Amino acid sequence: MVFLGGTSQLDNNPKTYGEMMSDIDLGKHLEAIKSKMDSMSSNQVQKLVDRPKGVKSVGCKWVYKHKIVADGEVKTFKARFVAQ
pLDDT at 30: 94
Which DSSP letter does residue 32 get?
H
In this model, does residue 79 exceed pLDDT 60? yes
CB 32, CB 77: distance < 8 Å: yes
pLDDT tens column, 18-28? 999 999 889 99
In this model, does residue 8 exceed pLDDT 60? no
3-state class of 1 per DSSP?
coil
The dihedral sign for the CA sequence 2, 26, 33, 17: positive
